[in-house]
Amino acid sequence: MLLTIQPHECLRSFLERHFFLDPQSPESIRFRQISTYYMRGSSIQSIAEVLGRGDTYGFNRLLHDHTSYSQVAVFLSSNQKSYTRSDCQSATVRFITEHQLPGICIQCVKDDIAQLGFPYWRRDHRYVKVCSKHNTPLLRKCPICAKDISVHGYAYGHDLLWKGCNGYYIHQCESKLNYDGWQLALSEIFTEIGESKFTVDLEFVIAHISGEVKKLSDLGIISETKIKALKHRLNTSKRIGEASYEYRPDFKYSECIIYVIAIVYGSFAGLLDSVRAVDGPVRNVDDLMHVKH
Ligand SMILES: [Zn+2]
Ligand SMILES: [Zn+2]
Protein backbone atom coordinates (compact mmCIF):
# COMPACT_ATOMS: atom_id res chain seq x y z
CA MET A 1 0.00 0.00 0.00
CA LEU A 2 1.40 3.37 -1.04
CA LEU A 3 0.97 5.98 1.70
CA THR A 4 0.50 9.73 1.20
CA ILE A 5 3.58 11.77 1.96
CA GLN A 6 2.70 14.50 4.47
CA PRO A 7 3.62 18.23 4.32
CA HIS A 8 7.35 18.64 5.13
CA GLU A 9 7.62 14.99 6.09
CA CYS A 10 11.20 13.78 6.15
CA LEU A 11 11.77 11.08 3.50
CA ARG A 12 13.09 8.69 6.16
CA SER A 13 9.79 9.10 8.05
CA PHE A 14 7.83 8.33 4.87
CA LEU A 15 9.79 5.11 4.34
CA GLU A 16 9.64 4.03 7.99
CA ARG A 17 5.84 4.46 8.03
CA HIS A 18 5.64 1.92 5.18
CA PHE A 19 7.85 -0.55 7.08
CA PHE A 20 5.83 -0.12 10.26
CA LEU A 21 2.38 -0.53 8.67
CA ASP A 22 3.07 -3.19 6.04
CA PRO A 23 6.65 -4.49 5.87
CA GLN A 24 5.79 -6.99 3.10
CA SER A 25 4.09 -4.56 0.68
CA PRO A 26 5.73 -4.06 -2.76
CA GLU A 27 6.53 -0.44 -1.77
CA SER A 28 8.22 -1.55 1.46
CA ILE A 29 10.26 -4.17 -0.40
CA ARG A 30 11.43 -1.54 -2.89
CA PHE A 31 12.15 1.07 -0.19
CA ARG A 32 14.19 -1.49 1.83
CA GLN A 33 16.89 -1.25 -0.85
CA ILE A 34 17.62 2.29 0.36
CA SER A 35 20.26 2.66 3.08
CA THR A 36 18.89 3.26 6.57
CA TYR A 37 21.70 5.72 7.33
CA TYR A 38 21.66 7.98 4.29
CA MET A 39 19.81 8.75 1.04
CA ARG A 40 21.56 9.51 -2.19
CA GLY A 41 20.10 11.31 -5.23
CA SER A 42 19.47 7.90 -6.80
CA SER A 43 17.43 6.80 -3.73
CA ILE A 44 15.33 9.95 -3.89
CA GLN A 45 14.78 9.31 -7.60
CA SER A 46 13.52 5.81 -6.81
CA ILE A 47 11.08 7.21 -4.19
CA ALA A 48 9.88 9.75 -6.80
CA GLU A 49 9.28 6.86 -9.23
CA VAL A 50 7.26 4.86 -6.68
CA LEU A 51 5.17 8.02 -6.17
CA GLY A 52 4.66 8.21 -9.95
CA ARG A 53 6.61 11.50 -10.12
CA GLY A 54 9.92 10.32 -11.54
CA ASP A 55 10.34 13.29 -13.89
CA THR A 56 12.65 16.24 -13.23
CA TYR A 57 9.88 18.26 -11.60
CA GLY A 58 8.81 15.39 -9.32
CA PHE A 59 12.39 14.77 -8.20
CA ASN A 60 13.01 18.46 -7.50
CA ARG A 61 9.70 18.77 -5.66
CA LEU A 62 10.69 15.92 -3.31
CA LEU A 63 14.09 17.51 -2.79
CA HIS A 64 12.61 20.95 -2.03
CA ASP A 65 9.73 19.86 0.22
CA HIS A 66 11.18 16.84 2.00
CA THR A 67 14.97 17.33 2.35
CA SER A 68 17.15 20.23 3.50
CA TYR A 69 18.40 20.88 -0.05
CA SER A 70 15.89 23.76 -0.23
CA GLN A 71 18.24 25.64 2.13
CA VAL A 72 20.82 25.70 -0.67
CA ALA A 73 18.52 25.80 -3.70
CA VAL A 74 16.81 29.05 -2.69
CA PHE A 75 20.19 30.84 -3.06
CA LEU A 76 20.89 30.47 -6.78
CA SER A 77 24.24 30.89 -8.49
CA SER A 78 24.17 33.71 -11.06
CA ASN A 79 24.48 31.43 -14.11
CA GLN A 80 22.12 28.76 -12.80
CA LYS A 81 19.31 27.66 -15.14
CA SER A 82 17.71 24.81 -13.21
CA TYR A 83 16.62 24.13 -9.62
CA THR A 84 19.70 22.11 -8.65
CA ARG A 85 23.31 23.23 -9.16
CA SER A 86 24.21 19.93 -10.79
CA ASP A 87 22.46 16.86 -12.15
CA CYS A 88 21.36 15.26 -8.89
CA GLN A 89 18.90 12.60 -10.00
CA SER A 90 21.46 9.84 -10.34
CA ALA A 91 24.13 11.45 -8.18
CA THR A 92 25.82 9.76 -5.24
CA VAL A 93 25.41 12.89 -3.11
CA ARG A 94 23.91 12.23 0.33
CA PHE A 95 20.82 14.40 0.74
CA ILE A 96 19.71 12.92 4.05
CA THR A 97 21.90 11.41 6.71
CA GLU A 98 21.10 10.14 10.19
CA HIS A 99 24.21 11.97 11.36
CA GLN A 100 21.72 14.83 11.58
CA LEU A 101 19.43 13.63 14.39
CA PRO A 102 15.65 13.91 14.06
CA GLY A 103 13.82 15.89 16.73
CA ILE A 104 10.35 15.59 18.24
CA CYS A 105 7.90 18.42 18.95
CA ILE A 106 5.30 16.93 21.33
CA GLN A 107 2.78 19.56 20.20
CA CYS A 108 3.19 18.60 16.51
CA VAL A 109 2.61 14.95 17.49
CA LYS A 110 -0.56 15.90 19.40
CA ASP A 111 -1.81 17.91 16.38
CA ASP A 112 -1.05 15.00 14.03
CA ILE A 113 -2.99 12.55 16.21
CA ALA A 114 -5.96 14.94 16.33
CA GLN A 115 -5.92 15.76 12.60
CA LEU A 116 -4.54 12.63 10.89
CA GLY A 117 -4.71 9.87 13.49
CA PHE A 118 -0.94 9.23 13.19
CA PRO A 119 2.21 11.31 13.72
CA TYR A 120 5.20 11.77 11.41
CA TRP A 121 8.74 13.17 11.52
CA ARG A 122 9.34 16.65 10.16
CA ARG A 123 12.26 17.47 7.87
CA ASP A 124 13.03 20.82 9.53
CA HIS A 125 13.17 19.34 13.01
CA ARG A 126 16.53 17.74 12.20
CA TYR A 127 18.24 21.07 11.71
CA VAL A 128 16.85 23.49 14.30
CA LYS A 129 16.45 23.53 18.09
CA VAL A 130 12.89 24.87 18.35
CA CYS A 131 9.61 24.04 16.55
CA SER A 132 8.81 27.24 14.62
CA LYS A 133 5.08 26.47 14.68
CA HIS A 134 4.68 25.81 18.43
CA ASN A 135 7.74 27.49 19.97
CA THR A 136 8.63 24.28 21.83
CA PRO A 137 12.13 22.86 22.30
CA LEU A 138 12.77 19.89 19.97
CA LEU A 139 13.55 16.68 21.83
CA ARG A 140 16.48 14.43 20.92
CA LYS A 141 15.75 12.17 23.89
CA CYS A 142 12.62 10.08 24.52
CA PRO A 143 10.36 12.08 26.88
CA ILE A 144 9.23 8.81 28.51
CA CYS A 145 12.48 6.93 29.26
CA ALA A 146 15.06 9.70 28.52
CA LYS A 147 17.06 7.47 26.16
CA ASP A 148 18.60 9.09 23.05
CA ILE A 149 16.07 8.73 20.25
CA SER A 150 18.76 7.63 17.78
CA VAL A 151 19.44 4.47 19.85
CA HIS A 152 15.86 3.96 21.01
CA GLY A 153 14.96 1.28 18.52
CA TYR A 154 15.33 -0.01 14.99
CA ALA A 155 16.38 2.48 12.27
CA TYR A 156 17.69 5.16 14.63
CA GLY A 157 14.57 5.19 16.77
CA HIS A 158 12.09 6.32 14.13
CA ASP A 159 9.45 3.80 15.28
CA LEU A 160 9.21 5.55 18.69
CA LEU A 161 6.50 7.82 17.26
CA TRP A 162 4.29 4.87 16.34
CA LYS A 163 5.31 2.14 18.82
CA GLY A 164 5.55 4.34 21.89
CA CYS A 165 7.73 3.47 24.89
CA ASN A 166 6.87 1.23 27.88
CA GLY A 167 3.16 1.37 27.05
CA TYR A 168 3.07 5.17 26.71
CA TYR A 169 2.94 7.35 23.61
CA ILE A 170 4.53 10.69 22.77
CA HIS A 171 1.18 12.46 22.37
CA GLN A 172 0.41 11.63 26.03
CA CYS A 173 3.43 13.67 27.17
CA GLU A 174 3.31 17.38 27.97
CA SER A 175 5.36 19.80 25.88
CA LYS A 176 7.44 22.63 27.31
CA LEU A 177 7.63 26.20 26.07
CA ASN A 178 10.86 27.61 24.62
CA TYR A 179 12.12 30.89 26.12
CA ASP A 180 15.06 31.40 23.76
CA GLY A 181 13.75 34.02 21.31
CA TRP A 182 16.92 33.92 19.22
CA GLN A 183 16.60 30.16 18.55
CA LEU A 184 12.94 30.67 17.61
CA ALA A 185 13.92 33.44 15.15
CA LEU A 186 16.54 31.17 13.51
CA SER A 187 14.06 28.32 13.28
CA GLU A 188 11.39 30.55 11.73
CA ILE A 189 13.79 31.72 9.01
CA PHE A 190 14.85 28.11 8.36
CA THR A 191 11.15 27.24 7.87
CA GLU A 192 10.57 30.25 5.59
CA ILE A 193 13.48 29.27 3.34
CA GLY A 194 12.28 25.65 3.20
CA GLU A 195 8.80 26.79 2.13
CA SER A 196 9.93 29.60 -0.16
CA LYS A 197 8.30 29.90 -3.58
CA PHE A 198 11.06 32.28 -4.66
CA THR A 199 14.80 32.15 -5.08
CA VAL A 200 17.34 34.93 -4.77
CA ASP A 201 20.76 35.25 -6.42
CA LEU A 202 23.46 34.30 -3.91
CA GLU A 203 26.15 36.68 -5.20
CA PHE A 204 23.70 39.55 -5.48
CA VAL A 205 22.29 38.93 -2.01
CA ILE A 206 25.71 38.80 -0.36
CA ALA A 207 26.70 42.13 -1.97
CA HIS A 208 23.29 43.61 -1.15
CA ILE A 209 23.41 42.60 2.52
CA SER A 210 27.03 43.83 2.76
CA GLY A 211 25.71 47.24 1.73
CA GLU A 212 23.04 47.11 4.44
CA VAL A 213 25.62 46.06 7.04
CA LYS A 214 27.79 49.01 6.02
CA LYS A 215 24.81 51.35 6.47
CA LEU A 216 24.17 49.95 9.95
CA SER A 217 27.85 50.33 10.74
CA ASP A 218 27.94 53.97 9.50
CA LEU A 219 24.88 54.80 11.58
CA GLY A 220 26.52 53.22 14.62
CA ILE A 221 23.35 51.19 15.33
CA ILE A 222 25.21 47.91 15.78
CA SER A 223 28.34 47.28 17.83
CA GLU A 224 31.71 46.76 16.12
CA THR A 225 31.83 43.18 17.44
CA LYS A 226 28.48 42.39 15.86
CA ILE A 227 29.50 44.00 12.55
CA LYS A 228 32.59 41.76 12.53
CA ALA A 229 30.45 38.68 13.22
CA LEU A 230 28.05 39.67 10.42
CA LYS A 231 30.87 40.20 7.90
CA HIS A 232 32.50 36.90 8.82
CA ARG A 233 29.25 34.96 8.46
CA LEU A 234 28.35 36.72 5.23
CA ASN A 235 31.70 35.71 3.81
CA THR A 236 31.20 32.10 4.95
CA SER A 237 27.75 32.11 3.27
CA LYS A 238 29.56 31.96 -0.11
CA ARG A 239 29.99 28.25 0.63
CA ILE A 240 26.33 27.75 -0.30
CA GLY A 241 27.43 28.23 -3.92
CA GLU A 242 30.07 25.52 -3.61
CA ALA A 243 27.54 22.92 -2.48
CA SER A 244 26.91 21.02 -5.69
CA TYR A 245 28.17 17.46 -5.87
CA GLU A 246 29.58 17.94 -2.40
CA TYR A 247 26.24 18.76 -0.79
CA ARG A 248 26.02 17.34 2.74
CA PRO A 249 22.94 18.13 4.84
CA ASP A 250 24.91 17.91 8.07
CA PHE A 251 27.11 20.84 6.96
CA LYS A 252 24.09 23.16 7.36
CA TYR A 253 25.19 25.52 4.59
CA SER A 254 22.48 28.11 5.26
CA GLU A 255 23.32 28.51 8.97
CA CYS A 256 25.50 31.61 8.51
CA ILE A 257 23.18 33.45 6.14
CA ILE A 258 20.22 32.73 8.46
CA TYR A 259 22.17 34.37 11.31
CA VAL A 260 22.75 37.45 9.13
CA ILE A 261 19.14 37.58 7.88
CA ALA A 262 17.88 37.32 11.48
CA ILE A 263 19.89 40.37 12.55
CA VAL A 264 19.55 42.56 9.46
CA TYR A 265 15.95 41.78 8.33
CA GLY A 266 14.32 39.63 11.02
CA SER A 267 12.83 37.31 8.38
CA PHE A 268 13.48 35.83 4.92
CA ALA A 269 10.40 37.75 3.70
CA GLY A 270 12.18 40.94 4.84
CA LEU A 271 15.20 40.03 2.72
CA LEU A 272 12.96 39.29 -0.32
CA ASP A 273 11.23 42.68 0.09
CA SER A 274 14.56 44.45 0.31
CA VAL A 275 15.86 42.69 -2.85
CA ARG A 276 12.65 43.48 -4.74
CA ALA A 277 12.82 47.14 -3.65
CA VAL A 278 16.03 47.54 -5.66
CA ASP A 279 14.80 45.36 -8.56
CA GLY A 280 17.23 42.58 -7.62
CA PRO A 281 16.82 39.13 -9.20
CA VAL A 282 14.02 37.04 -7.67
CA ARG A 283 12.87 33.90 -9.47
CA ASN A 284 10.07 31.41 -9.13
CA VAL A 285 11.11 28.06 -7.60
CA ASP A 286 8.42 26.19 -9.52
CA ASP A 287 9.65 27.44 -12.93
CA LEU A 288 13.21 26.35 -12.17
CA MET A 289 12.03 22.88 -11.10
CA HIS A 290 10.72 22.08 -14.58
CA VAL A 291 14.11 22.70 -16.22
CA LYS A 292 16.19 19.56 -16.76
CA HIS A 293 19.78 20.04 -15.72
ZN1 LIG B 1 5.53 21.70 16.67
ZN1 LIG C 1 11.68 5.73 25.61
β-strands 198-201, 282-284 pairing: antiparallel
pLDDT of residue 293: 79
Identify whether the C-beta of residue 173 lies closer than 8 Å to the C-beta of residue 144.
Answer: yes
Q: How far, in Å, CA of 257 to CA of 240, rounded?
A: 9
pLDDT of residue 157: 94
Cα(21) to centroid of ligand 2, in Å? Answer: 20
Cα(106) to centroid of ligand 1, in Å? Answer: 7
Provide DSSP, 131-177: ETTTTEEPBSB-TTT--BGGGTSHHHHTTHHHH-BTTB-GGGSPP--
Low-confidence spans in the chain with pLDDT less than 50: none
Report the length, in residues, of the chain.
Answer: 293
Identify whether the C-beta of residue 105 lies closer than 8 Å to the C-beta of residue 125.
Answer: yes
Cα(89) to centroid of ligand 1, in Å? Answer: 31
pLDDT of residue 78: 87
Residue whose C-alpha is closest to residue 98's, from 165, 39, 145, 26: 39
Cα(98) to centroid of ligand 1, in Å? Answer: 20
pLDDT of residue 248: 86
pLDDT of residue 93: 87
Cα(141) to centroid of ligand 2, in Å? Answer: 8
Cβ within 8 Å of residue 19, ≥6 positions away: 28, 31, 32, 155
Instruction: Give the long-range contacts of residues 283-287, CB within 8 A, separation 24 or more.
Output: 283/76, 283/198, 283/199, 284/197, 284/198, 284/199, 285/64, 285/73, 285/74, 285/83, 285/196, 285/197, 285/198, 285/199, 286/197
Whole-structure pTM over 0.85, yes or no? yes
pLDDT of residue 86: 84
Cα(37) to centroid of ligand 2, in Å? Answer: 21
Cα(46) to centroid of ligand 1, in Å? Answer: 29
β-strands 198-201, 75-76 pairing: parallel
pLDDT of residue 246: 78
Q: How far, in Å, CA of 62 to CA of 233, rounded?
A: 29
Among the bound ligands, the one closest to the CA of 170:
2
Q: Give CA angle at 248 (59, 34), nearest 5°.
A: 55
Cα(115) to centroid of ligand 1, in Å? Answer: 14
Cα(152) to centroid of ligand 2, in Å? Answer: 6
Among the bound ligands, the one closest to the CA of 160:
2
Q: How far, in Å, CA of 142 to CA of 164, rounded?
A: 9
- Per domain, the residue ranges of the chain are 106-172
Among the bound ligands, the one closest to the CA of 167:
2
Cα(248) to centroid of ligand 1, in Å? Answer: 25
Cα(147) to centroid of ligand 2, in Å? Answer: 6
pLDDT of residue 5: 98
Q: How far, in Å, CA of 34 to CA of 140, rounded?
A: 24
Among the bound ligands, the one closest to the CA of 106:
1
* β-bridge mates for residue 38, sequence order: 97
Rounded to 10 deg, the angle between the 202-219 and 224-236 helix axes is: 170
Cα(170) to centroid of ligand 2, in Å? Answer: 9
Cα(78) to centroid of ligand 1, in Å? Answer: 36
